Amino acid sequence: METATLTEQDREEFRLLLLSWFRLHARDLPWRQTRDPYRIWVSEVMLQQTRVATVIARYTQFIQRFPSLVSLALAREDEVLTLWSGLGYYRRARMLHSAAQLLVNEHGGSLPHTSQELRRLPGVGDYTAAAIASIARNEAVAAMDGNVERVLMRLLGKSATRRSGLPARLKEVAGLLLDPKVPGTFNQAMMELGATVCLPRAPRCTDCPVEKFCGTKGEHVAAPRKQIVSRLTHYALVKRPVGGESKRTEVLLVQRQDNAAQMPGMWELPAIAEPAKGEPVLRIRHAITNTNFYVEVFEVKADKFLTARNQRKLERHDWVVDSRLGEIPLTGLARKILMRLDVMAKPREVRSGKALPGLDRDFL
């Protein structure tokens, strides 16, 4: 695509091809059923660095519990983190929560109207602001996530992407192509094209609606493969029956430090340096960005585990009854282990075999 010679007619044709394709091929995603800026904001924050399939179930539960900005602002942080469990990158949840509180305390409880104003909120970058403003408010502003950038680079071709000032160039081209009549739908169509057709390693050019405008047709920019690191880790599952008539069980959990670099304040099973005696009760693989954790879980009796030495090491720990596990902010891995071992109830989506990928996959 040579933008210097791109006429208004070309741009109209590009929009028509893309939007017609999107009408036929758009995935049916829950956040596409709404133009409520709050709900679009939640979905955009969840989708940052988390796969769509994982977000679907989490989004629905989150919106059921916090249907409005005010309900989110009034919630306790640990409840927000609990509902975020499984999505990872918990800093996003904290930022979302504090931005909601700021909006309720200082801006009358509604989201600003323009992308420029949205940009001033904690945790809201150019992309998120543009996505919310274009989809919810019809503002003619291009939203550029990683998928859209890749599509634009391929459309422009090799020589254009080698020139200096690439980010500004991409922004300019995104603005030129944007359909000002339906900016929100156009932005979603570009993202969908990048997510489902113009794939990083193997673009499906024969299915691409805008192939005739493409300067590369997938010939270049194969994303370099990330180096994957593997780590073996061990956890202890320590349980005890709850006294009295109850048939319930309590599980020993530890809380990560407030200043921990990752997932501060979240609860998890106690890690153990060495495998315990006997066979593990569970072996799973848990992938976080470029690390594959190969996890072994050993069941250890409470009296053997809670020696005086171990108790000193376990700074913040607590017994949590199984019926309450869904109410506390667990790390994604702890949640996966406890569900897999039937200590924690599985959500309906998993029981019925629907959605929530990431929970029932990756097992060794």
Choosing from 100, 141, 198, 339, the residue that interacts with ligand SF4 (CB under 6 A) is: 198
Choosing from 25, 65, 169, 217, the residue that interacts with ligand SF4 (CB under 6 A) is: 217
Please give the DSSP secondary-structure letter assigned to residue 85.
Answer: T
Q: How far is the CB of 201 from ligand SF4 (least distance, A)?
A: 11
Interface pattern 252-291 for ligand SF4 (x via CB under 6 A):
----------------------------------------
Interatomic CA distance for residues 178 and 266, integer angstroms:
42
Taking CB under 6 A as the binding criterion, the range among 6-14, 27-35, 182-190, 207-215 that sits at the site for ligand SF4 is 207-215
The answer to the question of residue 37 lying near ligand SF4 (CB under 6 A) is: no
Q: Which is nearer to ligand SF4, 72 or 178 (CB)?
A: 178
- Using N-to-C axis directions, what is the helix angle for 52-65 and 37-47, rounded to 10°? 140
The answer to the question of residue 197 lying near ligand SF4 (CB under 6 A) is: yes
Q: Which of 160, 144, 174, 163 is nearest to 14 (CA)?
A: 174
Tell me if 267 sits within 8 A of 255, measured CB to CB: yes
The answer to the question of residue 177 lying near ligand SF4 (CB under 6 A) is: no
Catalytic residue among 2, 8, 12, 44: 44
Q: How far is the CB of 19 from ligand SF4 (least distance, A)?
A: 15
The answer to the question of residue 155 lying near ligand SF4 (CB under 6 A) is: yes
Q: Which two tokens stand for residue 248?
A: 């319930």
Distance in Å from the first CA to the final CA of the chain: 46
The answer to the question of residue 211 lying near ligand SF4 (CB under 6 A) is: yes
Q: Which is nearer to ligand SF4, 87 or 191 (CB)?
A: 191
Q: Which is nearer to ligand SF4, 135 or 151 (CB)?
A: 151
Interatomic CA distance for residues 112 and 129, integer angstroms:
10
Q: Which is nearer to ligand SF4, 83 or 174 (CB)?
A: 174
The burial of 269, by beta-carbon neighbours within 10 Å (0-12 exposed, 13-18 middle, 19 or more buried), is given as buried
Q: How far is the CB of 128 from ligand SF4 (least distance, A)?
A: 24
Interatomic CA distance for residues 141 and 186, integer angstroms:
10
Binders in 99-118 for ligand SF4, by CB under 6 A = none
Binders in 124-153 for ligand SF4, by CB under 6 A = 151
**279 is annotated as an active-site residue:** no
The answer to the question of residue 169 lying near ligand SF4 (CB under 6 A) is: no
Tell me if 172 sits within 8 A of 77, measured CB to CB: no
Interatomic CA distance for residues 271 and 314, integer angstroms:
10
The answer to the question of residue 330 lying near ligand SF4 (CB under 6 A) is: no
Taking CB under 6 A as the binding criterion, the range among 56-64, 94-102, 203-211, 339-347 that sits at the site for ligand SF4 is 203-211
Q: How far is the CB of 204 from ligand SF4 (least distance, A)?
A: 6
Q: How far is the CB of 2 from ligand SF4 (least distance, A)?
A: 14
Q: Which of 228, 305, 293, 224 is nearest to 262 (CA)?
A: 293
Taking CB under 6 A as the binding criterion, the range among 15-23, 170-178, 196-204, 323-331 that sits at the site for ligand SF4 is 196-204
Strand partners, 294: 232, 285
**Cβ-Cβ contacts under 8 Å for 293 (sequence gap 6 or more):** 231, 232, 233, 285, 286, 287, 333
Interatomic CA distance for residues 24 and 40, integer angstroms:
22
Choosing from 131, 208, 300, 344, the residue that interacts with ligand SF4 (CB under 6 A) is: 208
Ordered DSSP codes for 186-237: HHHHHHHHHHHTS-SSS--GGG-TTGGG-SSTT-S-PPPPPPPEEEEEEEEE
Binding site for ligand SF4 (CB under 6 A): 151, 154-155, 197-198, 203, 205, 208, 210-211, 214, 216-218
Residues with a known catalytic role: 44
